Structure 1
């Protein structure tokens, strides 16, 4: 048998926690010395301790842990529960990291307010462009909804273009359309020069020309695009224009090398009221 201190070290828990588990009846010691009151445990009890700690880490209350332990879950059942919880925790970590990136991006946008020169905005016509594209719908135009939708579309589109033997002749271009409520239709496109064909696993369309577009080159990942959009908005308002729809995003150099060097041209159709 092991003293409570040795058993705590073997089970990687505190002595205080073992005493609490004893008091609530979850893990009583195998033997208590009647004269000294010292608690002693057996190696076999480590199995119950492992299950107890694992279930507690799943978020179960001690009362719920007791019910599960008394039902004597098999190793396979416990492994399944733990695997599910592990997947949930990993997903939560990814969501928290994404939220942190968005907060940091907003902070950078706040820090750069008024710092980006509007002289960087260039007004020019944009010619019609033929693209192959895949389409999906995001819950909103917020980065937390757009990112997870558009990011998988491009690798899938590239794979389908490769299977079809269709060469890419220019840049990637993302376009957006309003849908019901806050939802946004997301089009992930790559410039091509082929004719539409029913056999393709993608749509081939011609993006219409823009007679006049306020354009600006954004440098860095799109997570940091807020400040650039705000600079364009300031320019549009200051120069008496009206914005028409969502901006096009032309990925001049994106996804390769140093993210600080990535470049995306934003093309915002404008008209005079």
Structure 2
């Protein structure tokens, strides 16, 4: 079973939304602890959540969603609703495109329920890497929130690396963290917390100490501050070259799976991984990392390894 925070991550929704759906009877948790009041969900409940979000993004009210779900709406019916909604949004095509893409991702996930193979999931250790990185803050963990933040970060990072004369020594690697609490705390939102959906996005490229030292030397000769890599592992430090560097520790145990295609369609892969984790006696230990193995101009040909830190349940 998953905590409300973990379930919200897999569904790419907020914990606050899940609490609201519980309150109105649209999606009840599988179990609620009678003492603490904490909510727990099962992976099988992702199917109902997918339908709720698809109907919500199609413009249905909560009352209408309840009635439609009670009639066990079929995938063809959802497809029909999507076509009607697309026609209604034709005049606002530009503003609606991102939302429609997410509806399509939900429908793809619904269509593949019960047919997704988890044979390609591998649990392994990952190595420590030195990253050049830029960071930003996204409003949430959904592709529609991450994409507009991480895409310009990587474009700027590649420009800065080229300017500094640093050639990447490996693929891009993105990782995520919750926005730190004002008192210095961190971690996933706890049960009962509100407004903690924003996350820090780290867009990184693997580099070498030698390449960084060479760039730092050239930078010092031109009057720029020398690069500093003396910070503790996992803590980004400034280089004076426009980007930060971080020694990112490896993961002791990561459930990994390869995603093919654009990251806007990550949902089926991520939820397939969630089913595997639940079925094999693990639980998530943090946000998944994304290792971009192949990123040609055609995003349909992208190959990305999803690395979810896990521990035994």
Q: 2-side partners of 1:94 and 1:265: how far apart?
A: 31
- Specify the SS of the correspondent of 2:101: helix
* SS of structure 1 residue aligned to 2:305: strand
SS in 2 for 1:119: coil
| Structure 1 equivalent of residue 130 of structure 2 | 130
Contact in 2 for aligned 1:172/1:188 (Cα 8 Å)? yes
**Aligned twin of 2:139:** 139
Residue number in structure 1 paired with 2:309: 269
Q: Kindly provide the CA deviation profile for residues 198-253 of structure 1, in whole angstroms up to 9, marking residues without a partner as x.
A: 32210111111111110000011111111101111011111111111110001111
| Alignment-derived partner of residue 201 in structure 1 | 242
Task: Give the TM-score of the pair, scaled to structure 2.
Answer: 0.56
Aligned pair partner of 1:244 in 269, 281, 285: 285
Partner secondary structure for residue 182 of structure 1: coil
What does residue 186 of structure 1 align with? 201
- Corresponding residue pairs, total: 184
Aligned to 1:173: 173
Q: Which structure has the larger Rg?
A: 1
Residue 260 of structure 1, aligned match among 281, 285, 300: 300
Higher relative contact order (CA 8 A, sep 6+): 2
Write out the 4+ residue segments of structure 1 that deviate beyond 4 Å after TM superposition.
none
**Hey, what does 1:24 align to over in structure 2?**
none
CA offsets 1:152-209 (integer angstroms, 9 cap, x no match): 1111000000111111010011100011611000000111013544322101111111
Describe the superposition over 1:124-145 as per-residue Cα deviations: whole angstroms up to 9, x where unpaired: 1100111100000011112221
| Residues 220, 263 of structure 1: 8 Å contact kept | yes
Instruction: Supply the distance in 2 between the matched residues of 1:255 and 1:137 (Cα, whole angstroms).
Output: 26
TM-score scaled to structure 1, two decimals? Answer: 0.64
2:11 maps to none
**Aligned equivalents of 1:109 and 1:95: distance in 2?**
23
Q: Structure 2: which 5+ runs fail to align? A: 1-91, 182-195, 213-226, 229-238
Mapped contact 2:144–2:264 kept (Cα < 8 A): no
Which whole-Å CA distance do the structure 2 matches of 1:126 and 1:216 have between them? 13
